[in-house]
Structure 1
Amino acid sequence: MRHDNRNPRLKMLTRFHSALAALLLSTSTLAAQDITLHSDIGPAEDAEVVDVSKYESKRDGSYIVGFSNVAVINSWTAQLVEEANYRASTLPQIERYIVTDANNDPSKQVSDVEDMLAQGADAIVINPANPVALVPVLERAYEDGVVVIVVTADANTDKVTAKIMADQVKFGTDGGEFLVDAMGGEGNVIALRGIAGLSVDDDRFNGAADVIGENPDMEIIAEEYASWSYDQARQACESLALAHPQIDGVWSSGGAMTQACVEVFNEFGRDLVPMTGEANNGFFRTWKENQDAGFDSIAPQNPTWAVGEGIALAVAILEGQEVYDYYAVTADPYTAADLDELYRPDLNDSYWVGSTLPEEKLQELFGN
């Protein structure tokens, strides 16, 4: 040992090896760092730790990850895809990232998932077009050892690896409670709904209907599906306004639909009534522009970044990280007090508030 220390060349070589070992240890530590999920999601009350050992055979740090999207039908789903793509780009463990669009067709989405499996997907992240139709293919993927993450809309099975769900019942309940207070517990309500058959829409509407139904002097007199779309909501609100001369409140399953309905009421010369909205920049602009006319609303959140976090969760599971099988998003709704802080006049109406996209990307996608 004394001889080694007296040998300058050997001493230098020893120091080099020590430095290299320290660098390799530091690099491996960084590579093994946990993937951190968004601060606004957390394990649900009854969540259990995922058995990640099931996926140990796949653990090579280079994965094929598929995202099966239900459809790009409006600005919210378009931003959702961008958020998912960006999140995937931040995960170097993803070797191939596959994105499909089912065009709101459950049978096509089944085929999309089967195609991903044929391509050797290690993980599939999905927002299902139907809570029942996708169950067989998802269960088969799960039983074949593929990580299956269900996000945003639910599937009626526990044979998946994990779920990330916003509290859609709370979305509807928050809006229903706002209308009860704003309308003094009486009057006629029309409802603008999303897409028939989707659990998201059913949960939101049922949450609102339960609250409104507790008030005997309030009634939901009509409802129309408008696919969370501005254009379809204009037609739906026009039809409802023409058919019902007495409307005292509007419950809406989405901000773009509320924005359209405010404009319809103004064009028809109808007094603006309380309407529920959502955390969307176009709706926030419309809300601000009509405050002097006495308009008020509430904006529940349904984050566009949830699917991106599903992709991150899938990679975390493949990497053997300790995670849970059910994560909940329970963000509080925005009120008039939040408008000045959250409204972005430098971005267009299509921007959904609370994005995780970098500012450069926001300006590219939504800059005026």
Structure 2
Amino acid sequence: MRKILVSLMALMVITTSFAFFGKKDDGKKVGLVVSTLNNPFFVNLKEGAEDKAAELGIELIALDSQNDPAKELANVEDLMVKGVDVILINPTDSDAVARAVMQANRNNIPVITLDRGASRGKVVTHIASDNVAGGEMAGKFILEKVGKGAKVVELEGIPGTTAARDRGKGFNNVAKGNLDVVAKQAADFDRAKGLTVMENILQAESEIDAVFAHNDEMALGALKAVEDSGKKILVVGFDATDDAVASVKSGGLGATVAQQPKMIGAMGVEAAVKVINGEKTEEFIPVELELIK
């Protein structure tokens, strides 16, 4: 009888252990693939997602693509191996990310894009600022400050990203017929490249009244080039990173369009939970913008 009781107790312990581990494995698990963590904007996006995941009791696995589409695909494949329920992805490039999105589609893992969209593949929802409206906001501010016919430079982000296309589209909606865009070059959303590209433009163009950069990192790089040249040129950025806002307050940058990256990350996690729970989500969830000047 005693042997039977001992056996039953051992079986209960084993069963309880399996139940415990099974419950742990059944918890909600979300993957986050960030284009780069070498940019304050995306660091803030990741932090917003992490804070919301902690608040909701969600396991979040965040991976850095280091601005490399091949690394991005590998990160998505890694998350699939880890058994995530939903993948949040901030694409390195809207076209290049299609392979990663379709890979997740084939494995029946829902995908949510953040800040930048995907040109192909099935995406459950896209969460981002209205970049066209933000570009228009920057264009109107520049027009107001330097006047019609002023000579302006546009520093573009990474070609192929929805952020670069939409911000440029919004700015050019205002610039067309109002501003003379004397130079338009890509600086890949990077501060060092923004500095180098702007230095070259300053050498090629004798007269420049303003610069619109598709993000703050390029804007701050351009501002350094302008300051080194000794010229007075209005520089406007986009994202309202801490460095950019500090520069606006100190009289460096003229303005920056404020996104809310932490909110984008947090809303991504909230949308992921809805998807896991079988709830409906909107195809596009906009995040409000404002102009810091």
Under a length normalisation based on structure 2, what TM-score does the superposition of the two structures give? 0.81
1:152 deviates by 0.7
1:229 deviates by 2.9
Q: 1:332 aligned to 2:293?
A: no
Q: What pairs up with 1:229-244 in 2 under 5 angstroms?
A: 229-244=190-205
Q: 1:276 aligned to 2:236?
A: yes
* Structure 1 residues 192 and 142, CA gap change in structure 2 (3 angstroms): same
In the alignment, the residues of structure 1 paired with residue 242 and residue 28 of structure 2 have an alpha-carbon distance, to the nearest angstrom, of: 36
For residues 72-97 of structure 1, the C-alpha deviation after alignment (integer angstroms, 9 at most, x for no partner) is 232222222222222222221x2x42
1:61 deviates by 6.7
For residues 242-286 of structure 1, the C-alpha deviation after alignment (integer angstroms, 9 at most, x for no partner) is 221110111111223323333332332212x33212323322332
Contact kept? 1:73, 1:229, Cα under 8 Å? no
1:309 deviates by 1.7
Bigger Rg, structure 1 or 2: 1
In the alignment, the residues of structure 2 paired with residue 201 and residue 63 of structure 1 have an alpha-carbon distance, to the nearest angstrom, of: 33
Segments of 4+ moved more than 3 angstroms: 142-145, 320-323
In the alignment, the residues of structure 2 paired with residue 150 and residue 78 of structure 1 have an alpha-carbon distance, to the nearest angstrom, of: 16
Under a length normalisation based on structure 1, what TM-score does the superposition of the two structures give? 0.66
Q: 1:62 aligned to 2:27?
A: yes
Q: Which amino acid aligns with 2:48?
A: E
In the alignment, the residues of structure 1 paired with residue 225 and residue 100 of structure 2 have an alpha-carbon distance, to the nearest angstrom, of: 43
Q: 1:313 aligned to 2:286?
A: no
In the alignment, the residues of structure 2 paired with residue 163 and residue 296 of structure 1 have an alpha-carbon distance, to the nearest angstrom, of: 30
Larger relative contact order (Cα-Cα within 8 Å, sequence gap ≥ 6): 1
In the alignment, the residues of structure 2 paired with residue 237 and residue 136 of structure 1 have an alpha-carbon distance, to the nearest angstrom, of: 34
In the alignment, the residues of structure 2 paired with residue 83 and residue 244 of structure 1 have an alpha-carbon distance, to the nearest angstrom, of: 41
Contact kept? 1:131, 1:156, Cα under 8 Å? yes
For residues 104-150 of structure 1, the C-alpha deviation after alignment (integer angstroms, 9 at most, x for no partner) is 22232122212211221111000122223333442453464423211
* Structure 1 residues 103 and 97, CA gap change in structure 2 (3 angstroms): same
The count of residues paired between Structure 1 and Structure 2 equals: 267
Q: 1:90 aligned to 2:50?
A: no
Q: Which amino acid aligns with 1:298?
A: A
In the alignment, the residues of structure 1 paired with residue 45 and residue 71 of structure 2 have an alpha-carbon distance, to the nearest angstrom, of: 20
1:300 corresponds in structure 2 to 257
Unaligned runs of 5+ in 1: 1-59, 336-368
Q: Which amino acid aligns with 1:301?
A: A
Q: Secondary structure at 1:100's aligned position in 2? A: strand
Q: Of the candidates 67, 78, 83, which is equivalent to residue 120 of structure 1? A: 83
Q: Secondary structure at 1:222's aligned position in 2? A: strand
Q: 1:194 aligned to 2:157?
A: yes
Between 1:134-143 and 1:123-132, the stretch displaced more is 134-143
Q: Secondary structure at 2:111's aligned position in 1? A: strand
Q: 1:180 aligned to 2:143?
A: yes
1:71 deviates by 1.6
1:73 corresponds in structure 2 to 38
Q: What pairs up with 1:27-42 in 2 under 5 angstroms?
A: none
* Structure 1 residues 296 and 74, CA gap change in structure 2 (3 angstroms): closer
Between 1:101-110 and 1:242-251, the stretch displaced more is 101-110
Contact kept? 1:175, 1:208, Cα under 8 Å? yes
In the alignment, the residues of structure 2 paired with residue 137 and residue 148 of structure 1 have an alpha-carbon distance, to the nearest angstrom, of: 10
Q: Secondary structure at 1:68's aligned position in 2? A: strand
Q: Which amino acid aligns with 1:109?
A: E
For residues 26-82 of structure 1, the C-alpha deviation after alignment (integer angstroms, 9 at most, x for no partner) is xxxxxxxxxxxxxxxxxxxxxxxxxxxxxxxxxx97122111111223222222222
Q: Of the candidates 227, 243, 247, which is equivalent to residue 208 of structure 2? A: 247
In the alignment, the residues of structure 1 paired with residue 253 and residue 31 of structure 2 have an alpha-carbon distance, to the nearest angstrom, of: 41
Q: Secondary structure at 1:90's aligned position in 2? A: helix
Contact kept? 2:72, 2:100, Cα under 8 Å? no
Aligned-residue Cα RMSD (Å) equals 2.3
1:328 deviates by 0.9
1:19 corresponds in structure 2 to none
Q: Which amino acid aligns with 2:111?
A: V
Q: Secondary structure at 1:186's aligned position in 2? A: coil
In the alignment, the residues of structure 2 paired with residue 189 and residue 169 of structure 1 have an alpha-carbon distance, to the nearest angstrom, of: 18
Contact kept? 1:152, 1:307, Cα under 8 Å? no
2:116 corresponds in structure 1 to 153
Contact kept? 1:237, 1:261, Cα under 8 Å? yes
Q: Secondary structure at 1:276's aligned position in 2? A: strand
In the alignment, the residues of structure 1 paired with residue 133 and residue 39 of structure 2 have an alpha-carbon distance, to the nearest angstrom, of: 22
1:3 corresponds in structure 2 to none
Overall identity of the aligned pairs, in %: 25
For residues 2-27 of structure 1, the C-alpha deviation after alignment (integer angstroms, 9 at most, x for no partner) is xxxxxxxxxxxxxxxxxxxxxxxxxx
More strand by share: 2
